[in-house]
Each structure stands twice: as C-alpha cells, then as structure tokens.
Amino acid sequence: MLKQAASSPQQPLEGNCLTTAMGILPHGDVEKALQLSLSLDIPFWPQLPGVSFYEDMYAQASEHFPGIELDLERREIHFSLERFYQELEQYLLHWEDESYFRLSPQYSAVYHRFLEKELSAYPYIRGQSIGPVSFGMKIQDRERRPMIYFDEVREIIFDFFARKLQAQYRDLQKIHPQPFVWVDEPGLEMLFMSYTGYTSEKASADYRAFLKNFPGPRGVHLCGNPDWSFLLNLDLDILSLDVLARGYIFSRYREEVRSFLDRGAIISWGITPTLTEEYLEENLQSMIERIEELWGYLEQGGIPREQLLRQAWFAPARCCLINTDREKTVELSFQLLKEVAAHFKKEL
C-alpha cells in the first residue's frame, strides 16, 4: 500500500500577497516561458502544449498509466479497459519504484530545465499536475465512457496520481526547502451536475483519502464554479481560483471561507485577465477595486483584513491559449498582476 504523506508542510505557508500563476502557458519558446515564471514570487515549471502534445496536461500526466492510448497525430487521448488489464501487471511491478512515476524529458520540455535552475532566493517553488478527478472524467474509452466510472480503474487513478505527486514533490524538495505541488481540477465542477455518473458523495470520500497521500502542502486549482462548500471543507492548504469570474459567488460562502482561513490555509486570488478582450477592459484600478469589493464583503462577515492579506496570494485569473497575439496578453497580465500585488503588499 502507498505510504501516507505527511499531513502538514515543514513550515506554515505564508501568504503576504505573493504572486504565482497556473502552469499552462501559450509560449513556444521554453526559455522565454521559464523567464516569465521566474519573474513571479513563486515560480513554477510551465506546461507548454504549443511545444508538443506531450505537454498537454492530460497527456503529460498519462505517462505509464495502464490502458492509455495517445494519438499524437490527432492530439487525442483514449482509454481501453482491455488494454488496462493487459498493462496492469506491469504497473504493479513498478508499484514501489518512484522513478517510474517521475516526469520524463519526453513528457515535459521544461520540468528538467526548471530543476536545474538556481531557485534558492524564492520563498517557495511550485509544481503541478492535472488532478485525478479531472483526468478520470476527461479521458474516455471508445464508447465515450469516462474511465473514472469503472470502479477498478478509479482506485488505480487515485493511487497513480498520489505517486506522481510524491515523485514530483521529492524532485522539487532536492532543490528547495519549501516546495509544493498543486493539482488542476476543472472536472470538480462537473461533479455537481445531474448527468454525471460519479457522485459528489463518492468523490468526497475518494478525495479525502487521496489528500492523505498528498505530499507537502495540499493545493487545488480550478477555474470553474464547483460547490465551494465541498472544496472549502476539504483538508486543503491552498485553494486557487478565478475570482475575476467567480469571486462574487465564492465570497458568498463567507462562513466556509472564514473556517478555511482560520485553519491557516491560503487563497490564491486569480484576478488579472489573460484573454485579450477582457484584458483591454481592465486596468490596475479596476483590479484593485474588484479585490476591495470581495474583501469588503468578507470583512463584513467578520474576517479581518489583516488575515485576508496575510493568507492571500495573487495570480492571473486563468490560463489562456487562444489569443491571436499568442503570449503577449498573457505576459501583460503577469505584469499587471505584479502591480496589483505591490499595491496590497504596502499594507503588510
């Protein structure tokens, strides 16, 4: 059985309005993407699907998962239950081999370059992966059945991702004393739609078990609109979300947010737009006002402003790969992000 990971980080996480961002970038130049990441307070290794299909966050995470079929020409991923059983023995043979679960250079053009960087000056460094629920719901067999619907497969999915995260965390731990890894979970939004064949009750139980094997600080990022009570009541250390689009709804869960912060957790406020049309409608003042509105409502509910500041990170609102100017707007969003964070850092 998989050993349970430590339930808490080596040191409590500090918020202090530090900047970070989601992993996916539109860049085709690896070094340029790394430079952008390293310009933030908490750098990360970027995922670059424009460089290779292997860099797609689903394809990237699929390395060595039994039953996966990658179609590089069509840029598609499929699952075969028959192939799953054929390859399961090979997976079990590597059950305790951590190197089997590491990201190979083929599946990430950036990861190993990031590990070679001098990163000691940063307070934290971050890795990421697509999460088990999103992976299991997104990837389907040829009959369009999500792989997470198969009970025997679902058990392996959660085990597999725990091992992938542990291997990545230990890689990062070798080069920095305070690393963390978070999972992208856009699929969590789908759990609360009536048509899903994987219930929120089952997901809650599975996820709580999964988090016990989550290495270091436990972080979840998503851009959608799930049941926020579900996430805020999980044993998370970091919740990253798109407050530009979802902040009004999120802030209405005032009691859950207060309990989340009282446990010492961090909220990463995704605020600056990365879509060109949205970016052109915003500026520094409008971003500050948006945060002030959200925080003002939370303060009215008894959450001290000092606590919000001390347990806040700032990030772009979401990833964006569809702009016609490729990376230009995203880079402008990162610059605006640093200006927003600098404004609030003055209060610390």
The CATH number linked to 51 is: 3.20.20
Which of 175-189, 198-212, 239-253, 304-318 has the least mean pLDDT? 198-212
pLDDT at 4 exceeding the cut of 50: no
pLDDT at 229 exceeding the cut of 80: yes
Instruction: Indicate the SS3 state at residue 98.
Output: helix
* Dist CA 314 CA 153 (whole Å): 36
Instruction: Give the total number of structural domains in the chain.
Output: 1
What's the pLDDT score for residue 287?
Answer: 98
What's the pLDDT score for residue 188?
Answer: 84
What's the pLDDT score for residue 187?
Answer: 85
**Is residue 2 in a domain?**
no
226 pLDDT band (50/70/90 cuts)? confident
Instruction: Indicate the SS3 state at residue 234.
Output: coil
* Dist CA 111 CA 108 (whole Å): 6
**Is residue 7 in a domain?**
no
**Is residue 67 in a domain?**
yes
* Dist CA 136 CA 197 (whole Å): 12
pLDDT at 2 exceeding the cut of 90: no
Instruction: Indicate the SS3 state at residue 242.
Output: strand
* Dist CA 327 CA 50 (whole Å): 11
pLDDT digits (tens, 9 = 90+) for 268-291: 999 999 999 999 999 999 999 999
At 138, phi and psi to the nearest 5? -75, -45
Over residues 146-174, the mean pLDDT reads 96
pLDDT at 220 exceeding the cut of 80: yes
Strands 68-71 and 76-79, how do they pair? antiparallel
How distant, in Å, are the alpha carbons of 77, 92, 147 from that of 136? 12, 19, 5
**Is residue 333 in a domain?**
yes
User: Which range of residues forms the domain containing residue 209?
Assistant: 18-345
What's the pLDDT score for residue 218?
Answer: 96
Quote the tokens at residue 235.
């044993």
**Is residue 204 in a domain?**
yes
Which of 7-11, 61-65, 224-228 has the least mean pLDDT? 7-11
pLDDT digits (tens, 9 = 90+) for 182-196: 999 998 887 766 556
Q: What's the whole-model pTM score?
A: 0.94
**Is residue 10 in a domain?**
no
**Is residue 5 in a domain?**
no
pLDDT at 317 exceeding the cut of 50: yes
pLDDT digits (tens, 9 = 90+) for 61-74: 999 999 999 999 99
Give the gyration radius of the chain's Cα atoms: 19
pLDDT at 346 exceeding the cut of 80: yes
Mean pLDDT (the chain) is: 93
How distant, in Å, are the alpha carbons of 201, 251, 294, 304 from that of 299? 32, 10, 9, 6
Amino acid in position 67 = G
**Is residue 135 in a domain?**
yes
Residue with the larger pLDDT of the pair 198 and 167: 167
What's the pLDDT score for residue 9?
Answer: 45
What's the pLDDT score for residue 108?
Answer: 93
What's the pLDDT score for residue 193?
Answer: 62
What's the pLDDT score for residue 200?
Answer: 72
pLDDT at 106 exceeding the cut of 50: yes
At 283, phi and psi to the nearest 5? -155, 180
Nearest to 100 by CA among 47, 166, 5, 23: 166
Over residues 69-89, the mean pLDDT reads 95
pLDDT at 235 exceeding the cut of 60: yes
pLDDT digits (tens, 9 = 90+) for 51-61: 999 999 999 99
